[in-house]
């Protein structure tokens, strides 16, 4: 795991907004589809349509950086106990098994909050587009991570 960094100042946190991910590509491999369907209990289909969870998987795999690198970018590490906040998936058209998709996106918000029970935490949200070989956007995925900011 990546070493934890010092908690960023609020202005450093807010400066993350607009940061664009390097992006990348993701191929919906048939073996991944079979195993994923088996894990989540979805039917094994024969019509070439991938489960909408692949919108999410494609987006995350095509970030162009690892999740640990993303945590580092946000001044955190896996050891800090980051959590999923929200997950928003728009399936504009189903992903196709065997097709290769391009992923692009950026950080869309970064805010610091404080809760009576949870203490100080940051919420960093990002949006990713999953683009089909014909350059049409097949899916838009928006996620957020919650980073607890415990006193050091």
If the CB atoms of residues 84 and 152 are measured against another protein, the closer one turns out to be 84
- Name the segment binding another protein (CB under 8 A); options: 14-22, 69-77, 85-93, 106-114: 85-93
CA angle 71, 75, 54 (to 5 degrees): 20
Contact positions with another protein (CB under 8 A) in 51-70: 51-53, 56-57, 60, 67-68
Q: Which residues pair with 25 in a beta bridge?
A: 102
For the stretch 112-119, contacts whose Cβ atoms lie closer than 8 Å and that sit 24 or more positions apart, written own/partner, are 112/10, 112/13, 112/149, 118/148, 119/148, 119/149, 119/150
- C-alpha closest to that of 149 among 108, 110, 113: 113
If the CB atoms of residues 12 and 81 are measured against another protein, the closer one turns out to be 81
Contact positions with another protein (CB under 8 A) in 99-128: none
If the CB atoms of residues 23 and 85 are measured against another protein, the closer one turns out to be 85
- Paired tokens of 45: 């289909």
- Name the segment binding another protein (CB under 8 A); options: 11-19, 79-87, 104-112, 125-133: 79-87
Binding stretches for another protein (CB under 8 A): 1, 32, 35-47, 49, 51-53, 56-57, 60, 67-68, 78, 81, 83-92, 94
């Amino acid at each position: 795991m990546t070493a934890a960094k010092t908690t960023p100042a609020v202005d450093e946190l807010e400066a993350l907004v607009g940061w664009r991910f390097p992006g990348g590509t993701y191929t919906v491999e048939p073996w991944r589809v079979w195993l994923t369907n088996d894990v989540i209990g979805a039917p094994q289909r024969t019509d070439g349509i991938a489960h909408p969870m692949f919108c999410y998987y494609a987006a995350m795999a095509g970030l162009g950086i690892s999740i640990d690198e993303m945590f580092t970018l946000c001044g955190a590490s896996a050891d800090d106990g980051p959590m999923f906040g929200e997950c928003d998936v728009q399936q504009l058209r189903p992903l196709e098994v065997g097709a290769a998709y391009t992923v692009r996106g950026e950080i869309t918000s970064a805010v610091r909050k404080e809760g009576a029970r949870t203490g100080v935490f940051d919420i960093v949200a990002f949006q990713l587009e999953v683009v089909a070989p014909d350059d049409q956007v097949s899916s838009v995925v928006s996620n957020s991570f919650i980073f607890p900011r415990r006193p050091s």
